[in-house]
Amino acid sequence: MTGKSTTWKRRAGIGCLAASVIALGGPALADDVGHDPLEGFNRAMFAVNEGLDTVAIKPVAQAYDFVTPLPVRVGVGDFFGNIADVRNALNNALQGKLSDAGTDLGRLLINSTIGIFGLFDVASELGLEKHDEDFGQTLAVWGWDNSSFMFWPLLGPRTVRDTGGWVVDAYTDPTWYTLNKSVAARNSLVALSFVDVRAALLPTDKVVEEAALDKYAYVRDAYLQRRRNLIFDGRPPRLEDVMD
Amino acid sequence: MMNKLIALVFATLFANLALAQEAPDALVKQVTEEVLEIVRKDRSIQNGDAKKAIDLVDAKVIPHFNFLHMTALAVGKDWRKASPQQQQQLAGEFKTLLVRTYSNALTSYKDQKVVYKPFRMNAGDTDVLVRTEVHQPGNKPVQLDYSLEKLDAGWKVYDVNVAGISLVTNYRDQFGQEIRNGGIDGLIKAIAAKNKSLEGNLAKADGK
C-alpha cells in the first residue's frame, strides 16, 4: 500500500515536473527565469554559503565597512573599477560594440594616468560613461542565451555560462599578471576585491531577508533578471504582461 | 486684438489642461524629490525609524501606484484563476509586504542623488518607462526605472526596476510555488504570515 502510494506520488511529481517543463518551454515564457534543473544541489550550496557568510564573510565585510573612511572606500572601488575597464573594453569589442570599447579604453587611459593608477575616476567626471561587461555576457550575445542556474560556495549565484565566463574573466584580469611576482600581494588584492564587493551588498541584506518568501528563489530570480538586464545593456525586451 | 485675446485664453486653457494631466516623468521627479526632501530633514527616519518611513511611503508614494496591476504582474498566469475578492485580498497583502520591506531603504539614506534620464513619449502613449539613476559616493550608480500606465485617475506606477531587477516579477516563481502548494488562498495566507512576522520585528524594534 505504501509502495503504491509512493509510486503514485512520484508519478504525480513527474507529472507536475513535466507540466512545468512544458510551461517553461512555451513561447511566451521562453524568456522566463525559471531555469533551475539543479535546484536540489543549488539549495544545498546556498545553505552552505549562508553559513559561511554568517560566520566569516559578512563580519569581515562589516568590519571593513566600519573602519574604512568613505574616501578610501571610493578609492578602492575606483581602483578595481579601473582594472575592470580592461575587461569592459575587451568584451565590448568581442560583442561588436566598438564605440563602447573605445570609451572603455579612453577611460582606462585617463584614469590610469590623471586618475593616479585608477584611484580616482576622473573619466566619469569628464562624462565618459562606465560600462559593465564580462565574458558571460559576450557568450550570451554570441547566442548562448539560456543557461542553467548554479549556486557556488563563495562565488555565489552564476549560471553555467557565467561560471565559464568568470573563469575567462579571471584569466584576462591584469591583477593576476602585474603582481605575478608577489603571490602575497596578488592574493591580498583579490581578497580585498571580494570584501569590497560584499561590503557594497551589505545594505541589501535586510531587504532580501524581509522581502523574500523563499530567500533562495528570491536571490536566484534577482540574479537571473540582473544578468538579463546586463546582457541587453539596461534595455531588455519586456516580458509578457497578463493584464494586456 | 480680439484674435490675440482669444489665443491667450486658449493658451492658458491648454496650459492648465497640461498641468492636470501631469507628464509621467514630471510626476516621478516630483514625488521622488518631495520624499527625499522629507527624509533629508528627518533625523528619526535617518536613524532607522521604520514605522515613520512606512507612514511617509503610505502617504506620499502609494497613491501613485496601481497595486492590482502590480499583483497581477507578480502572480502571472494564475491571476485569472483568482476571484475578484481574492484579487483584492492578494493585492492588499502584497502592498503591505512591499511597503514594509522597501520603506527600509529610506532609513539607510545617505547623500544619494537621483538623476533623471532623458524621457521621450509619443502623444497617445498610455504605457511608459521613466528611467532614473541613483548616485552615491563610493558605489556604482544604480539604475532605477518605473513603468507607468495612464488610467482615468492619472498616471500610476505598476512596476519598479532596481538594477534591472523587477521588484514585482521577482516574486513570480515564489508565488507560483505557494499556489501549487495551497492554491490562491494558500498564497494569500503565506504573504499574510510573512507580513505578520515583519510586524513582530517592527514591534520589537519599537520596544528597544
* Interchain contact, B104 vs A210, CB within 8 Å: yes
**CA closest to A68 among chain B residues:** B138
For chain B, percent of residues with pLDDT exceeding 70: 87
Residue with cell 560584499: A198
Contact between B141 and B112 under an 8 Å Cβ cutoff? The reply is: no
* Interchain contact, A225 vs B169, CB within 8 Å: yes
CA Rg value for chain A? 21
The DSSP 8-state label assigned to residue B65 in this structure reads B
* Average pLDDT score, chain B: 87
Specify the higher pLDDT residue, A144 or A12.
A144
How many of the other CB atoms lie within 10 Å of CB of B55?
Answer: 14
**CA closest to A199 among chain B residues:** B139
Q: Which grid coordinates belong to A181?
A: 611576482
The closest of A105, A162, A94 to A128, measured between CA atoms, is A105
B positions 11-70 inside 8 Å of A (CB): 69
Among A121-125, A176-180, A212-216, B181-185, where is mean pLDDT lowest? Answer: A176-180
* Average pLDDT score, chain A: 83
The answer to whether B170 contacts chain A (CB < 8 Å) is yes
A79-114 burial, b at 16+ Cβ within 10 Å, e below that, comes to bbbbbbbbbbbbbbbbbebeebbebbbebbebbbee
Q: Which chain B residues are closer than 8 Å to A226 by Cβ?
A: 163-165
Predicted ipTM of the assembly: 0.82
A34 has a pLDDT exceeding 70: no
Q: For residue range B148-185, list pLDDT tens digits in order.
A: 999 999 999 999 999 899 999 999 999 999 999 999 99
SS (H, E, C) A66-77: HHCCHHHHHHHH
Q: For residue range A60-92, list pLDDT tens digits in order.
A: 999 998 999 888 988 998 999 999 999 999 999
Question: pLDDT value at position B13?
Answer: 55
pLDDT band, residue A13 (cuts 50/70/90)? very low
* Interchain contact, A217 vs B177, CB within 8 Å: yes
Beta bridge partners of B154: B151
**CA closest to B181 among chain A residues:** A16
Question: pLDDT value at position A242?
Answer: 59
B206 has a pLDDT exceeding 90: no
Measured between alpha carbons, how far is B203 from A32 in angstroms, rounded to an integer?
Answer: 38
Contact between B52 and B45 under an 8 Å Cβ cutoff? The reply is: yes
CA A109 to chain centroid: 26
Who among B75, B139, B170 is closest to A225 (CB)?
A: B170
Distances (CA, A) of A77 to A153, A199, B113: 24, 11, 18
Measured between alpha carbons, how far is A49 from A208 in angstroms, rounded to an integer?
Answer: 15
The answer to whether A215 contacts chain B (CB < 8 Å) is no
Q: Which grid coordinates belong to A238?
A: 519586456
Please, which residues have CB within 8 angstroms of residue A14's CB and are 6 or more apart in sequence? none
Residue with cell 532580501: A208
**CA closest to B147 among chain A residues:** A238
pLDDT band, residue A20 (cuts 50/70/90)? very low
Measured between alpha carbons, how far is A239 from B73 in angstroms, rounded to an integer?
Answer: 10
- Residue A114: strand, helix, or coil: coil
* Interchain contact, A229 vs B165, CB within 8 Å: yes
Question: pLDDT value at position B207?
Answer: 53
